[in-house]
């Protein structure tokens, strides 16, 4: 166990976003004894073809909890409707409270330019909260932090207004199966909604899912191959299959070399 475990806070819009975009590093942090909390700002109550509302929200919360357990992390699903998330002041204050109470060292979230309004608004809210965590007169009952955490964006492939900048690339090959285990917990999302397949026998589902997400999850490593070779050396950088990528948000504390070493202890450089 590290003398002072890191506290990593991931904010996604929906109950599977954190796992999909940061599940690998969640496992890596957990293995080293650091604390990771995955927060979904919506309850996921619109992401299904047949069910919705409270019944689906409760189901998705249980699935998110199981996924987090599979990675050794904590889970929190806020009770905001899926598909209608707005970057309100109330939500910003709730995010400030969560960052303070968890005493986050590193905060991850979506970029504010994304196809999905819930992702976009999640990015806006977290970005708007990150600097305010030190302002004591806001959210009075939650003591202000005396530092601003580093904030980084989760990977996406959108090109406008500018393409994602992979400031930090993390090789997740050694924990990839565990990441798939976590995604496999999201039955209502992965099997019943996104890919619309409910007729796969129980014992074949995980393998089917692994095949289905392969093209998507292999993309960042192929996209940033040159940088990977630079970071990990040409031999290792050429064979890494899965990475998770993060871009610095300039509203958080700067990611100095010292902070990079502290916050990403599993990086080789």
Task: Point out which residues bind Zn ion (CB under 5 A).
Answer: 13-14, 17
Closest distance to Zn ion from the beta carbon of 9 (Å):
17
Q: Which residue is nearest to Zn ion (CB)?
A: 14
Both tokens assigned to 88: 């309100």
| CA distance linking residue 151 with residue 99, whole number of Å | 11
Listed in sequence order, the DSSP H helices in the chain are: 17-31, 53-70, 89-102, 117-130, 176-184, 205-223, 225-232, 234-239, 257-263
Write down the least CB distance from residue 3 to Zn ion, Å: 36
Reduced to 3 states, what is the DSSP secondary structure of residue 194? helix
CB burial string 18-32: b at 16+ within 10 A, e below: bbbbbbbbbbbbbee
Residue 73 and residue 24: Cα distance in Å, rounded? Answer: 12
- The least distance separating Zn ion from the CB of residue 108, rounded to whole angstroms, comes to 14
Q: How many angstroms separate the CA atoms of 266 and 22, rounded?
A: 14
**By C-beta, is 17 or 19 nearer to Zn ion?**
17
Closer residue to Zn ion (CB): 41 or 263 = 41
Using alpha carbons, list the distances in angstroms from residue 163 to 108, 113, 187: 18, 10, 32
Alpha-helix residue ranges (DSSP H) falling in 47-184: 53-70, 89-102, 117-130, 176-184
Shortest Å distance, C-beta 122 to Zn ion: 8
Q: Residue 72 or 83: which CB sits closer to Zn ion?
A: 83
Whichever of 64 and 133 has its CB closer to Zn ion, that residue is 64
Using CA atoms, how far apart are residues 228 and 217, in angstroms rounded to an integer? 15
C-beta closer to Zn ion: residue 17 or 244: 17
- In the complex with Zn ion, the residue whose CB is nearer, 16 or 105, is 16
**What residues have CB less than 8 Å from 267, skipping those under 6 apart?**
168, 170, 231, 260, 261
What is the nearest approach in angstroms of Zn ion to the Cβ of residue 119?
6
CA 97/CA 141 separation, integer angstroms: 9
> Least distance to Zn ion from the beta carbon of 199, Å?
25
Shortest approach of Zn ion to residue 45 CB, angstroms? Answer: 13
Closest CB to Zn ion among residues 154, 255: 154
């Amino acid at each position: 166990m590290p003398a002072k475990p890191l506290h990593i806070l991931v904010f996604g819009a929906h109950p599977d976003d954190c796992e999909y975009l940061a599940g690998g590093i969640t496992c890596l942090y957990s293995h080293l004894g650091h604390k990771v909390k995955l927060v979904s700002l919506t309850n996921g109550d619109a992401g299904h073809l047949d069910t919705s509302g409270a019944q689906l929200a409760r189901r998705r919360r249980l699935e998110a909890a199981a996924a987090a357990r599979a990675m050794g992390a904590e889970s929190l699903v806020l009770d905001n409707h899926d598909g209608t998330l707005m970057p309100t002041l109330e939500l910003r204050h709730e995010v400030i409270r969560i960052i303070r109470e968890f005493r986050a060292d590193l905060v991850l979230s979506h970029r504010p330019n994304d196809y999905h309004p819930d992702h976009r608004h999640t990015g806006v809210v977290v970005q708007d909260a990150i600097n305010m965590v030190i302002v004591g007169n806001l959210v009075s009952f939650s003591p202000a932090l005396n530092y601003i955490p580093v904030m980084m964006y989760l990977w996406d492939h959108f090109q406008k207004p500018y393409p994602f900048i992979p400031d930090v690339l993390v090789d997740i090959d050694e924990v990839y199966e565990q990441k798939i285990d976590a995604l496999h917990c999201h039955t209502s999302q992965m099997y019943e909604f996104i890919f619309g397949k409910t007729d796969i026998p129980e014992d074949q589902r995980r393998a089917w899912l692994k095949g289905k997400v392969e093209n998507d999850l292999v993309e960042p490593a192929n996209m940033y191959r040159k940088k990977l070779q630079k970071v990990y050396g040409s031999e290792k950088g050429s064979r890494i299959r899965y990475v998770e990528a993060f871009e610095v948000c300039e509203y958080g504390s700067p990611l100095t070399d010292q902070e990079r070493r502290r916050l990403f202890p599993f990086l080789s450089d």
